[in-house]
Structure 1
Amino acid sequence: MEDLQKSIEQNEEIEIDLGRLLRQLRKKLSFIIAVTVIAIIISLLVTKFLIPKKYESMARIYLKPNITESGTIDYNTLTANSKMVNNYVLMLQGNSLLEDVTEKLKLEDETLVKKSLSVSNEADSEIITVSARTENAKLSKDIVNTTVNLFFVSMKDKLDIKNMTILDAPQVNETPVSPSLKMNLLIGALLGIMVSCGFVTVQFLLDKRLHTKEDAESYLEIPVLAEIPFLED
């Protein structure tokens, strides 16, 4: 019975502490808002002036099925294309092709091409997407264009494959795809709220002063007989 009573008293104490903490957070609302605004401004400045902008260019390759003499699609080649598409994706990412692209564009290192280039196959299709993302819009376009052209030449010369066509040619896209201003501002706001609320909470937990009559009675375990009001000038 005594253990139950102690548990109830502890729970009541925790509830009182949480209530005081919430009141303290409301009291410091202007501080929390100020810190959040500062964090948003910092995120804005970092995004605008410190984080490099990235530009993306993209091309889509389509593996055409053969057309029979009667004008219908040869489903044998359609099935073969579906099976070969993953092999083509791997070939587009091969070191040999990337070295040729680097040499063609007169770049210092193929690492730039390897890091910027992305090749994927759209699900259940014979379409291959080749994209590049760099800090230069024209370079992104040149990497994609050169990669696709050299790949076509290689497939034609080495494997006599001629059923590839470009659905979407790469373009110079002057609109950066990263960083995301909205996302960074949201992250900045959340960090501002977390830091300011965390600071207020730690400050509250470290404050060992007695603020109310109830605090004094709980700490001293004796009743308060009188209170002296505090008058501000």
Structure 2
Amino acid sequence: MCQNCPKYDDPQEAAAVAEDCRTNIKYAIEFVDLVSKACLDLEDDYRNIGLYYHTTEYEARATMAAMPLFSDELIHLEDYFQITEPAEYDNWASTLASVIEKASTLRSDMVHIPRQATPECLVHEYNQVICPALEDLKSILVSERDILKDLASEVNHLRTIEMNDEDRPRSWWYFKHNPETGKSELEHEGEEWNDFVNWVACLPETRKAMEQGEHVHDIVRRWIQREDGLSLTGLLLLDDGTIITEDFE
């Protein structure tokens, strides 16, 4: 406890202060749980945005690159999704992993605050330790959220450019029904395929599946099959420091 922390000599006041602090700490625990979930949601959003990007054609990307208004946006998308090494993904994901680790440590510290802690200790812990840590987590998370919001906006511009091109070629990928198996199978793989494979191969879940013997091409085909059923889950979870608990499509 610091010298500037207040002291509570009145028993009733001390009890009230302690109760308020423990209530605030309870809410702080709920907050860090929400932060951890938000990090996982943002990782999902990264994958969804990447899938939106990689299922566009080269021609649309070339058109976007030639447009002064949007050329920088394409470069930004390429920085995040034209990757070929797992370390490139890990470099981005390390920020969210750090937030999750810090949130877990902070949660453990809060849960294990002694029951016999004095009101003075509780006030000090909450104001001088917990609140600054929460602000730090929130600041990092909002920054990462804003990056993904920008990427989502940019990939929407790319897909709009693609859809507005009346002369655009047939999609670089499409499925054909196989009457023998009764399933839809990937019929065509365009030039964009290799870039897509390289990106998916950088993801940790793909690396794990490949270590277990699964071929990356089979994994990528499953990614394409889910392209029409995507949602962005974490982009609006935090807004100007306000916790929003509703689900977002």
User: What TM-score, normalized to structure 2?
Assistant: 0.24
Structure richer in helix, relative to its length: 2
Larger C-alpha radius of gyration, 1 or 2?
1
User: What TM-score, normalized to structure 1?
Assistant: 0.25
Structure richer in strand, relative to its length: 1
